[in-house]
Amino acid sequence: MDPSEFDDKFWTGKCLSAQLMEDEPFQSPEVDPLLRHFRDFEQKFECLKYLGEGKQGIVLSAHINSVQYAIKVFYPFTILPDSRLNPEEQHLYFNPFSCECRAFARLQDMNEDGTFAVKCYGWVKLSSSQVNDIRALCKEKDFIPWALVKELVSTAAHPNQLTKMIENIDIAEQCNLFIPDVQPSNYGAGKFLDLGAAKVLPYHPVYWPGYCFTQSFTDHRNRLRKWTVNESKFIDKYED
């Protein structure tokens, strides 16, 4: 566990902005994307419910100021000793929290929030009481005190949405945003749910040269086209 993940100053200016979320784009998509602060960050989480978890973190639902949202909290990131990047660079480019913040921020800067992926309402720093409430639901698992507030989608992707899902890859390509974990479970209501594995340009050239993006978007489209349907559900033969 890296203590810097818990430091307020560590993330600001790297993947987070202290500015409150607004509907309009924040900054030019030509610069490093920064996710803005959730507007109702001082409000309590009510009716908190556990929805599920994965390799990157835990997803819950909560009512905040009478609106229901999805809340994603993240497990601590493990520094890779053999990486060619220093710890700070690893957090920026490999840490799922940073990856997801940068991805949603880029979509917002391109005025595409809620199109390719679910809508994101910004980041929050969890209070000690919120941390305790989440731990009580999640079997005392460790997580960093940062969370993303997102649109809550209750339905899985449906086959009749596939054409639109393929078309929406154009949005990701225009945003220089590549998602490697393409699988049915990561789609809801025809939108991407989780961007924690996203790669967003500018990205460190040591690990992701810019020319790789073009082929990656083609691969993404081709993979979706090969999905089959069983009982109105998508089946991806490549999914683990």
Domain ranges of the chain: 3-235
H/E element holding 215? helix 212-225
- Domain range 3-235, its CATH number among 3.30.200.20, 1.10.760.10, 3.40.50.850, 2.60.40.10: 3.30.200.20
Beta strand pairing call for 67-74 and 146-150: antiparallel
Higher pLDDT, 29 or 36: 36
Identify the band that residue 144 occupies on the pLDDT scale cut at 50, 70 and 90. Answer: very high
Higher pLDDT, 206 or 190: 190
Q: What is the pLDDT of residue 9?
A: 86
Identify the band that residue 141 occupies on the pLDDT scale cut at 50, 70 and 90. Answer: confident
Q: What is the pLDDT of residue 1?
A: 61
Identify the band that residue 240 occupies on the pLDDT scale cut at 50, 70 and 90. Answer: very low
Distances (CA, A) of 131 to 11, 41, 64, 146, 229: 19, 14, 15, 10, 40
